[in-house]
């Protein structure tokens, strides 16, 4: 069971690294928000699920699942609020940083 957890953690780390590369390389706020929210949620899903499986099926499993559900509730809300604020304050997607 612990090897399954380690495999899940490694997959999640891969997604987190890909999200960080996107955060470094992408041209404007909207594409960066896309890279952050999507890959970050998936990476956190795999890493936390791997930790929960590694812990075994007891109360700690349920606690980690609760944190995971909290991340999945809050991360899209924050990304949506930030991108909405960026759009309303005059930035437009597809034009790069210097508009």
Residue with the two structure tokens 């790069």: 96
User: 49 is written with which tokens?
Assistant: 């699920």
Size of the site for other proteins (CB under 8 A): 47
Distances (CA, A) of 91 to 11, 57, 68, 87: 34, 47, 32, 5
- Give, as one character, the DSSP assignment of residue 79: H
78 belongs to the binding site for other proteins (CB under 8 A): yes
Kindly list the residues in this chain that would bind other proteins in the complex (CB under 8 A): 2, 6, 9, 13, 16-17, 19-20, 23-24, 29, 32-33, 36, 40, 43-44, 47-48, 51, 54-55, 59-60, 63-64, 66-67, 70-71, 74-75, 77-79, 81-86, 88-91, 97-98
């Amino acid at each position: 069971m612990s090897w399954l957890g380690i495999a899940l953690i490694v997959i999640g780390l891969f997604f987190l690294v890909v999200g960080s590369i996107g955060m470094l390389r992408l041209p404007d706020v909207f594409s960066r928000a896309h890279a952050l929210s999507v890959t970050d949620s998936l990476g956190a899903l795999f890493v936390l699920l791997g930790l929960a499986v590694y812990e075994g099926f007891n109360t700690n499993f349920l606690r980690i699942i609760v944190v995971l559900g909290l991340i999945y509730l809050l991360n899209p809300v924050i990304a949506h609020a930030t991108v909405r604020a960026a759009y309303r304050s005059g930035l437009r997607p597809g034009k790069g940083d210097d508009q």
